Amino acid sequence: MRGNRTAVVAGLCLAWCFAAPAFAAEVLIRSDKPNAVTFPAENARFVRLVIQATSGSEPCIDELEVYAEKGSRNLALAKHGAKATASSCMPANPKHRIEHLNDGLYGNEYSWIAAGSAGQWARIELAEPAKVSKVVFSRDRNRQYSDRVPVRFEVQLSPDGKQWKTVKKVSGKAASVVLRRRQHAGFAGDVPGPPPPPRVSQGKVVQSKSKVDEQLEYAFLGEEHAWLKAYGRADLAQRLLHTPYPEKRYPPHVGDDRLPLAPLAGEPKLDGILDDACWTGASRGVVRVAAPYDFDAGPLVTCAVRAGHKDGSLLLALQTNRLLSSHIAVVSTSTGDGCGVVAYTKKGLVFNTYEPEGRHKFKLKQSTPVEGTFDKTLTCCEIRLPLKLFPDCQTQGIRVGLGMGGRHTLWTATGRTSGRFPLRT
C-alpha cells in the first residue's frame, strides 16, 4: 500500500583541512563532514588510513577518498577502478562492508566498521599510480550517528603495498554534532511537524446532530480505522507493528518502489488541472494514510504524485482526496540532503528548509518561492522545483514524502514516502 519513492542524492559538504604538523595542536574531527588530511604530494598507488584511537568502540568510515595534487577527481572510487581492503570488518552485518569504503555513497547504511579497535586500517589501491596530496574521510555525512569517529590516525602511502611511508599523523577529538532524527529506510532530514491544512469554503450547511448520532459515528469511524490498520490499507508507525502479543501484530506493508524520473515530452501548464498530455509520460506513486476524524469523509486519505523532469526542473503533480496539512510534500535526496518542505501559503507555494534548534525543534533556515498552483478545492497541485536545489540528483534520484498530518504514519513530520525516483535522461 505504500507507494513509490524518489531518490536523488548526496549534498554539498564543505571540506576542511588539518593544517597542523604531526600530532600538533588538537583538532576537531567531525562525524558529519568530510575531514580532509593534506600533505606534500608523493607518488603512490596504495593509500592507507591506520587508526590508533576512536571516540568510542570500533572505527567507522562511510567513505574514504583520495585526491591527486591540484585534482578534484576522487581517485578512490570503485567506478574509477580503485579497490578497497581493510584489516577487518564487522561480521554478519550487510550495512557495514569493506566495499562501502569507496562506493561513492554516504551514511551509516553504506559504511565500513572494523571488527577491532586499535590498529585497524582501511586501504585503497588506485587504478594507477598518482601524485597523491590529500585523503578525505567521514563517519556519517547523513548526520544520523556521531560515534566511532577516528580521532588519532596516520596516513600512509606505498608504491607496491609492501613498503609504507607515513606522510601525516593526526590527533584530535570528535566535535559535538546535532544529529538528525533517524527515520525509516535510512532517510534523514530536518523538518518540523506538520501544521493544520488551509481552510476551504465548502458552502455546506452544518446540521446539528444528537449525542447518540455523534457517538455512533465515532464508533463506526473507530471500527473502520481499525480495519485500515489491521489489513494494511494505511501505513502505521513502527511502534504499532512490534508488540509482544503475536495475535495483535499487524501485517507488514508492501515496501516502497523505485520509479524512474523520466524526462517529460512537453512543458505542463501549472494551473492545478492535470490535463496536459506530457503528464502521461511521468512516473506515478501513491501513499495511503489515516485521518479518522471526519465521518462523512472517512478515515482513509490517498495521496498520489506524478513526477518527471524538464530543462533542469523537477515537475510534480500532486492529487489527494483531502489535504491534511499546509505542508504539501517533503522533497530531498534519497538520504535527506537538500531536504525541504513544499508549503502552501496565502501568497503562494514556497520551498522551506530548516535547521535543528534543540531537541525536536527546528527553525526556518530559508524560504524560497516556487512555481505552482492549486485547484480551487485544494486537492490537486502542480509544482516546479529547480533540480539545483538537490545536488548530485543525477547520481541517486529524488525522494518525495506525502501524507503529512496523517495518523499513524511512519514519520509524523514527513508523512509516508511516495516515491524514490532515480533520474533518467
Q: Please choose, from the candidates 25, 69, 29, the residue with its C-alpha nearest in 3D space to the C-alpha of residue 49.
A: 29
pLDDT of residue 51: 95
Between 424 and 407, the higher pLDDT residue: 407
Task: Return the residue matching grid coordinates 562501502.
Answer: 100
Tell me if 47 sits within 8 A of 132, measured CB to CB: yes
**Structure-block grid coordinates of residue 347:** 501568497
DSSP 140-169: -TTSS---S-EEEEEEEEESSSSS-EEEEE
| 220: number of Cβ within 10 Å | 13
Average pLDDT of span 140-148 = 86
Compute and round to an integer the Cα radius of gyration of the chain. 25
Judged against a pLDDT cut of 80, whether residue 1 lies above it is answered with no
Judged against a pLDDT cut of 50, whether residue 409 lies above it is answered with no
3 state SS of 234: coil
Q: Where are the beta strands (DSSP E) in 333-370?
A: 340-345, 348-356, 362-369
Judged against a pLDDT cut of 80, whether residue 419 lies above it is answered with no
3 state SS of 289: strand
pLDDT of residue 16: 23
Tell me if 409 sits within 8 A of 239, measured CB to CB: no
| 193: number of Cβ within 10 Å | 14
| 45: number of Cβ within 10 Å | 18
Judged against a pLDDT cut of 50, whether residue 312 lies above it is answered with yes
Q: How many helices (H) and strands (E) does the chain have?
A: 3, 23
Terminal Cα-to-Cα distance of the chain (whole angstroms): 28
Q: Please choose, from the candidates 71, 46, 45, 60, the residue with its C-alpha nearest in 3D space to the C-alpha of residue 134.
A: 71
Q: Residue 37: what residue type?
A: V
Between 103 and 223, the higher pLDDT residue: 103
Average pLDDT of span 383-410 = 78
Tell me if 331 sits within 8 A of 340, measured CB to CB: yes
Sign, CA dihedral 358-32-389-183, equals negative
Judged against a pLDDT cut of 90, whether residue 229 lies above it is answered with no
Predicted model pTM: 0.54
pLDDT of residue 321: 87
pLDDT of residue 410: 35
pLDDT of residue 284: 87
**Structure-block grid coordinates of residue 94:** 550487510
Lowest model confidence (mean pLDDT) among 124-138, 327-341, 360-374, 375-389 = 327-341
What digits encode the pLDDT tens for the residues 326-372? 899 888 887 677 889 999 998 999 999 988 876 667 889 999 999 99
**Structure-block grid coordinates of residue 239:** 511502534
Q: Give the bridge partners for 319, in sequence order.
A: 304, 380
Q: What is the H or E stretch that residue 302 is in?
A: strand 300-310
Sign, CA dihedral 294-298-300-304, equals negative
pLDDT range class, residue 209, cuts 50, 70, 90? low
Lowest model confidence (mean pLDDT) among 61-70, 132-141, 183-192, 298-307 = 183-192
pLDDT of residue 406: 73
Q: Where are the beta strands (DSSP E) in 55-91?
A: 60-61, 63-68, 83-86
pLDDT of residue 58: 92
CA distance linking residue 141 with residue 59, whole number of Å? 15
Kindly provide the b/e burial profile for residues 206-217, where b requires at least 16 CB atoms within 10 angstroms of the residue's own CB.
eeeeeeeeeeee
3 state SS of 329: strand
Phi first, then psi: give them for residue 215, nearest 5 degrees.
Answer: -70, -40
3 state SS of 102: helix
Using a 10 angstrom Cβ sphere, with 0-12 exposed, 13-18 middle and 19 or more buried, the burial of residue 85 is: middle
Q: Give the best-scoring range by mean pLDDT among 9-13, 44-48, 91-95, 198-202.
A: 44-48
Phi first, then psi: give them for residue 237, nearest 5 degrees.
Answer: -65, 150
